[in-house]
Structure 1
Amino acid sequence: MVRFPDGERPAPTLEDVARRAGVSRATVSRVVNGATLVAPDTVKSVQAAISDLDYRPNRAARALVTRRTGVVAVVVPEANERVFNDPFFPQAYHGALQGFGNSDVQVVLAIAQPGDPADRMLRYLDSGHVDGAIVLSHHGPALATALARMAIPVVFVGDPETPGLPFVDLDQVDASRQATELLIQRGHRRVATITGPLDMAAGRRRLQGFRDALTAAGLEPGPIEVGDFTQASGRAAAARILASGADFDAIFVANDLMATGALYTFGEAGLRVPDDVAVIGFDNAALAEQSSPGLTTMTNPADELCRVAAEMLIKTLAGVPVTSVILPSHPVLRGSV
């Protein structure tokens, strides 16, 4: 008689499940690997046997059969400090987890520093460690262009401006146009802006919407400064605008972190918001509600964007064609306008 130490028994095998369910080992394998050509009653029998025996598939063996790892990556080409300080990224990652919530897929976070050679991340994505990827906050075309040549399924959050790559994005131009129009409707005529990085489509398109709204109203743009979506850059850009001596009575800031930085600078300079200068941000982050005064802002639902991207990636992995998705934005009114 075989004795097992401390009363332990070996983990159940595929053969044990097959005997319990009264089917062949090959049938159990097909059920475990998600094959569709198995009778529903047989699937139920196999699943019951798996549950009864507490069977756990061998991931390594399963990967050899299915050529799948059961892992997808959320790729963020940003500095660690920004990933963990900007509320957009935790919300986006949560959205990816929600999108894969009804599957056995593990979602890992891969941070690639801006300026790193694209081939470093490409080697990781092409190494066989992941089945696909969601890419957030990309700078420039290099990564997207290289991914377009690879076989790995990928979905971008934000337009990669690369033909053939699916993405989900906000209507960036319309959202920033709405933000600027709101300031114009409130009677402001010298509207400044702090843009995001201009090597990102979001940064350029939010600037375009700002310009379009002013042009349609017959107004010249006020001071324009470039930030990098961090609070510190918002403070510095607002300080440069004040130091220039240029006249302005309102400002559209391309994200809420920079906008709260600008609020701080204006407060230090003795300006009252919104009496002396009206401020509108972008993202509807939690800090917009917590600032004083509360920050009027545009919605940019990071969790929804990444959840939709995850659903698109699931379809892509299943061989189902997908088309890119554009989501709308609307203003959230608070005390800064």
Structure 2
Amino acid sequence: MGYTLEEIARLAGVSRSTVSRVINQHPNVRPEVRERVWRVIREVGYHPHAAARNLVTRRSQIVGVVIPETLPKVFGDPYFPVVLHAISEALAERGYLLVLSLLTPQQEEDFYRRALRGRVVDGIIVVSARTTDPLIARAYRDGLPVVSIGRYPEEPNVSYVDADNVEGARVATEHLLRLGRRRVATIAGPQTMAPGVDRLEGYRIAMQAWGINPPPEWIAEGDFTEAGGYIAMRRLLLARPDAVFVASDLMAVGALKAIREAGLRVPDDIALVGYDDVELARYTDPPLTTVRQPIAELGRVAVRLLLRQLEEGARDPQRVILPTELVIRSSCGALRTLSPSPSKPAI
């Protein structure tokens, strides 16, 4: 049978208003009374009406995860399922539900008005936003809890978690140089996104440290898709690189296809290093050397930062940068050429 607040109050020997205060976590209830009410609630299997509870607490226990990408791109990139699974698990542990929204720029205004202004969700985690995406800054300035997975330079007070993309790209590029490669090109990510900008910066830092100023034809921009990597690699082949640092594993798969179509071999003719270390990287032919970023941990930390705002009322910005790790497999040639170059000659 369905129980009412009045029946719960009668069974617990308290007033209806006391039951309401217990359910809505009001502090002005004696601990022994609170425990008695919750014991009755558990025994009878009572579930408070969510809408009524939300009117009091102004909380829905729902978090929106916003990805400003199209459906095919999100479900075609192995990065997103990993980070979404981690976010979902971390939220469930704290009693929150996840609502996923894939938004085009044209849909953001409607989402903001209906989901955020209407308080359908308590806060949002934004994944893979453009550096100038107005949704994050607008939510922050309106006092709505928001966290970005990925550095967000547009609003310095927004909390975010990111991998150390500059250092990861620097280490990957230097690894190729230490293996004796000198014409090291790169397929960068979109320069409208912080990971694309940061990984290109890491590449440049490594090249310049070795006295190499890469010409424009050694740098091609992709879009973090396999097709984008393929197209970018086709352009780079005209510059005759002997190695390529690719800013995502998925783009590296496309690059590998373009290299093979040109009649070249990896790593004999062109060494290849990717970024992400998604599961796919282990099964390419040859297996892909790549920079491992802690994708699942990015999701878990984002939840922690958001709940800090929701449950503690924190407004001071938190910026968490997680370390990366170079995972060496066959595509860079290191498994056959183990001794590093002893010096850093200019090209």
- For 1:71 and 1:17, the matched residues in 2 are separated by 26
Q: Structure 2: where are the runs of 5+ without partners?
A: 333-347
Map 1:170-209 to 2 at 5 A: 170-209=163-202
- For 2:27 and 2:184, the matched residues in 1 are separated by 59
Superposition deviation, residue 272 in structure 1: 1.3
Q: Alignment partner of 2:275: what SS?
A: coil
Equivalence for 1:317: 310
Equivalence for 2:140: 148
Equivalence for 2:3: 12
- For 2:173 and 2:230, the matched residues in 1 are separated by 20
**Residues 126 and 136, structure 2, Cα contact 8 Å, conserved in 1:** no
Superimposed CA distance per residue, residues 101-156 of structure 1 (whole angstroms, 9 cap, x where no aligned partner):
2222111101102x426423322322221110000111132223322321210011
Return 23-32 or 227-236, whichever deviates more.
Answer: 23-32
- For 2:267 and 2:280, the matched residues in 1 are separated by 18
- For 1:168 and 1:247, the matched residues in 2 are separated by 37
Q: Alignment partner of 1:74: what SS?
A: strand
Identity of aligned residues (%): 45
Q: 1:117 to 1:102 in 2, by over 3 A?
A: closer
| Letter paired with 1:144 | I
TM-score relative to the length of structure 2: 0.89
Q: 1:147 to 1:321 in 2, by over 3 A?
A: closer
Superposition deviation, residue 294 in structure 1: 0.6
Indicate yes or no: 2:10 matched with 1:30: no
Return 49-58 or 21-30, whichever deviates more.
Answer: 21-30
**Residues 137 and 158, structure 2, Cα contact 8 Å, conserved in 1:** no
Superimposed CA distance per residue, residues 35-82 of structure 1 (whole angstroms, 9 cap, x where no aligned partner):
344444333322221111110110110010001112110000011111
2:227 to 224, 232, 255: 232
Q: Structure 1: where are the runs of 5+ without partners?
A: 1-8
Return 189-198 or 29-38, whichever deviates more.
Answer: 29-38
Superposition deviation, residue 270 in structure 1: 1.8
Indicate yes or no: 2:109 matched with 1:119: yes
Superposition deviation, residue 93 in structure 1: 1.1
Equivalent residues, number: 325
Superposition deviation, residue 331 in structure 1: 0.8
After superposition, the CA RMSD in angstroms is: 1.6
TM-score relative to the length of structure 1: 0.92
**Residues 190 and 220, structure 1, Cα contact 8 Å, conserved in 2:** no
| Letter paired with 1:151 | G
- For 1:64 and 1:144, the matched residues in 2 are separated by 26
